[in-house]
Chain A
Amino acid sequence: MAKGVLGNDPFKRGAASRPSDSSEPSTPEKKPAKDKAGTGGKASARKAGAPKAGGKAASTKSRKAEGPKAPTKARGGKTTATERRPKHAAVPVETAGAAAQGGEEAALPLREPAATLDARAPVNDAGPLTEQQREVEHALTEALASEAAEASAAAAVEEALGPEAGQDAEVERLMATELATELAEEAVEALLERGPPSEPSEQERELAVSVATQVADTAARAAAGEERTGEAARDVTTEDTGTQEELAIGVVMAEEEEEEDTTAVEPEVELPDVTRDEFPPGRRGPLSLVPPPSFEDGGAREPFPPDAGRSGPEAIRPLAERAVAALSLARDIAGQALASESLARAMLAVNGLKDMVLAGLGTGGGENLDEYGKDPALVERLEPVLEFLYSQYWRVSVQGVVHVPQGAVILVANHSGALPYDGLVMSMALTRERPDLREPRWLVEDQIFHAPMVGTLFNRLGAVRACPENALRLLDEHRPLVVFPEGYQALSKPFGERYRLKRFGRGGFVKLALRTGAPIVPVAIVGAEETSPLLGRIPASFLGLPYVPLTPLGPLPLPAKWSIRFGEPIGVEDFPPEAADDLGEVQRLTERTRESIQGMLQSLLRERRSVFAG
């Protein structure tokens, strides 16, 4: 938002300032003026771009680094302006009117070539734009930058404009009022942009005008500090030579911070800007100098130029307006901050997804995979996405997770949905609800594991190919092991048969439990079927797959609500390991587990009122 404001303001004001000459403020006019200034080159355009970019960057998370710099920049700019301003002012004072301009140009030889029409043009471009940048950053960083700071900045901008305004004596007053309103309404940056046209000859007049306007502004804005400025401005008006004094005062008024920062920061910030502008070195000085001085002097003058720009019929706007403006600015900034945060999250998620796709394609790299192929770094990068899926998209609710004992345990769950998200969700549920357990793994059948992309991706996320060796090894590591004994059949069953358990393989998980003594925990998962219902099968033998499932959103899941219920563990401690070879015993235990899961499924389905709302 701040960006928008900034972007708009410059045009408006520029138009206003220019028009001041023509007595009509209009946006279109501003552009030509800019272009003229641009004679020097793309500098203007570039600058315009640069400040915006800076603003954006500042708004987004990336500003960490920039943030600190930005304010310093702004301050530095201001201070430099104040310091150098005296020179500028002195020149105009000595020379009269147009003569003064010529004198300046002479003093700054570099300027002349570029600015055939207006010597000021280049100056303006460089000055105001840079200031814009600073202002934006400043505002962003300091949040609701103090009104005083805004006023000073605005004043600086106005200074530049001042000369034009000076042409019309009456306009000056109007201008002053406008300034006040503008200050209140808009961010400092806009003001800065107006600055472009500044003529030394008129500066004197402007000064006087600005003094008056400032007094008004100061009164409107706040209390004591502003009074000082008013006084300073008055002093200035009385004494042309007193510009330096004014500056000093202005600085004091504006903000102590600015002074401090300026000394150190100035050189760094300004020089690079100048170089970017492509202005010859000789110009740089004046260019950079001019805008900043406008700040301090502007404190006094500012009112004028803006006034000139806008033929504001209204008198100084009331405090209330300003307060409202300040509030709106605050709101904008806050909004931006929020937006940037969510934006940052979104960016993180997007990055995670990108990594996921790369990993799926087989170019993901990764250095710290475990021997099963899980990439913890990838999982971490995907965390925003997984978290969103888990808690917002699927709203997984978990019941009875306390039943899961410590150590090696076999979690037997129903497999469902055309795409096997259930293993991933199970492992997420376990890590979230039971952080005391070791990291769980789930076994997937060969068909999925060896599918291109899907298999690789699932492997990176923690899936392990289902085979006795892997299962034994995982149990040896005392991990919870999630198995889906229905296997592949459950995934390929049509939607009409959802939540009807298929045959439980050959009871491999029971043999595993009997051999290792790991208890069996039956688990019922509801919601996965509706997440990716199987609508049809596309033959895909050329991909090495039996088929590609046809689902409503392709690989994307539907937002069905998930419920996971963990049942009472089925202990196998009463059975000797040799029971694994007793097919009858294995069969009985398998059936017991299956019935337990089917029962939990039925009750979960009965309790469910809506597929998507839960």
Chain B
Amino acid sequence: MDVSRPGKGRLRVAVTGASGDYGRLLLSRLEQDADVESILVLDVARPEGEKIEFHRVDLTRYDAESELTDALTERPVDALYHLAFLFGPIQNGSLAHELEVIGTMNVLTAAGRSRLPRLVVPSLTAVYGARGNNPALLREGSPLQGCPHSRFVTDKVEVESQVRAFRDRHPDMRVLVLRFAPVLGPSVDNPATRLLRNAVVPTLMGFDPLWQGLHEEDAARALHLALRAETSGEFNVVGRGVMPLSGLIQQAGARPLPLPGPLFRAALHTLDVVGAGTLPVALLDYIHYSWVADGERAESALGFIPLHHVRDAAAALKRS
């Protein structure tokens, strides 16, 4: 597609969820990208920026799809980043579900109708699920086992299946799904950073799974790279190296507190029932078994080579 040729310049990029962590990281890079002519922001809030064209769209509304289609067809865009996902603490589960699943459905429908040349959707390596029978390195083809206890991850898995179906229906479009390892950095807020920002992080005694982490700068770079990559499909975007959870916690300036499994489970469920749960029960899987994704494909096809080691990403968390 001519769109993806860098020499052409004058790229027009549309972004949903520009006020989220991913949107913020990406917008600052797009602003500095000389090839990007304008950024069409489809969101409920208007971000700052010179190239910004703001079009207010509430993805959770029933008429979001037509609004999106209008906005995208009025002036064709070269790429759409669908970044409207929640990462903060989810108080309202149904709202999150609406945004993730229904919002994505709207975006995909609009994208199909406006014949977008390129769609980029971020996802998580957590969709593979942390299971005892995972191989040491999860490749993109591994089944998405998700995490039955976590609405957050379950929604993501559903989004991915939607996107895959969409890609099958539109083979001429470039649809990139970036599966990010936990994004760590001073300015991001997601379940992993919230976990690591605690002074004491409970862990399962006797288990120390391998975690990956992605520095926020690397995440921004990967998103930006997706704008021009001549490829399609899923990509694991992970930082350099792996660390055991305890090491990650220590790097982040916290202390691991190993609790015996049964006790931990009971405590978590109690907290959850009481409603004071600061730690999602779903986390149990991820602090039990390793979930290490293989970033080889992103390197060869996307050209993404992480600059930051997990260690530095976690340490950046501490400095903030």
The interface of chain B, by Cβ under 8 A from chain A, is 132-133, 135-137, 139, 203-208, 210, 241-247, 250-251, 256, 258, 261-262, 289-290, 292, 294, 311
Contacts and interface: CB of A to CB of B under 8 A. Distances in A.
Interface stretch (A77-85, A92-100, A369-377, A529-537): A369-377
A446 interface: yes
A353 B246 CA distance: 18
Given A369-B210, A449-B132, A452-B206, 14 more contacts: A362-B203, A362-B208, A365-B244, A365-B246, A365-B250, A366-B244, A366-B246, A367-B241, A371-B292, A451-B206, A456-B208, A460-B208, A469-B137, A473-B137
Contacts of A366: 243-244, 246-247
Contact of B205 (A452, A473, A542): A452
Given A362-B204, A369-B244, A470 B135 contact: yes
B220 to A, nearest CB: 24
B206 A362 contact: yes
B250 A361 contact: no
B249 to A, nearest CB: 8
Given A467-B133, A544-B261, A453 B246 contact: no
A365 B261 CA distance: 19
A481 to B, nearest CB: 13
Given A373-B290, A470-B136, A364 B242 contact: no
Interface in A348-366: 359-366
Given A362-B245, A362-B256, A365-B247, A456 B206 contact: yes
A450 interface: yes
B261 A373 contact: no
A544 B207 CA distance: 12
B234 to A, nearest CB: 17
A469 B246 contact: no
Contacts of A367: 241, 243, 247, 251, 311
Contacts of B311: 367
A465 interface: yes
Nearest to B310: A367
A174 interface: no
Nearest to B255: A363
Contacts of A456: 206-208
A241 to B, nearest CB: 69
Interface of A: 359-373, 375, 446, 449-453, 455-456, 460, 464-465, 467, 469-470, 473, 542-544
Nearest to A370: B242
Nearest to B288: A450
Contacts of B294: 371
B208 A364 contact: yes
B136 A473 contact: yes
Nearest to A474: B136
A513 B192 CA distance: 40
A366 to B, nearest CB: 5
Contact of B136 (A363, A368, A371, A455): A371
Nearest to B259: A362
Contacts of A467: 133, 135
A456 B207 CA distance: 6
A367 B289 CA distance: 18
B97 to A, nearest CB: 32
A390 to B, nearest CB: 25
Contacts of B207: 362, 452, 455-456
B204 A464 contact: no
Contacts of B135: 465, 467, 469-470, 473
Contacts of A360: 206
Contacts of B136: 371-373, 464-465, 469-470, 473
A363 B210 contact: no
12 contacts: A362-B204, A364-B208, A365-B246, A367-B247, A367-B251, A369-B244, A373-B210, A450-B289, A456-B207, A469-B137, A469-B139, A473-B137
Most buried by A among B242, B244, B250, B292: B244
A456 B135 CA distance: 15
A466 to B, nearest CB: 10
Q: Nearest 5 pairs between A and B by C-beta?
A: A452-B206, A469-B135, A365-B247, A362-B208, A453-B206
Given A371-B137, A452-B261, A363 B208 contact: yes
B256 A369 contact: no
Nearest to B238: A371
A359 B206 CA distance: 8
A451 B258 CA distance: 15
A371 B250 CA distance: 19
Nearest to A360: B206
Contacts of A363: 203, 208, 246, 256, 258
A360 B294 CA distance: 25
Nearest to B137: A371
Contact of B246 (A362, A449, A455): A362
A359 B243 CA distance: 12
A361 B207 CA distance: 7
A363 B259 CA distance: 11
Contacts of A460: 208, 244
A11 to B, nearest CB: 47
Contact of A371 (B204, B242, B244, B245): B242
Given A371-B210, A446-B132, A452-B206, A364 B244 contact: yes
Most buried by A among B206, B208, B292: B208
A367 B251 CA distance: 9
A463 to B, nearest CB: 11
Contacts of A542: 262
A482 to B, nearest CB: 16
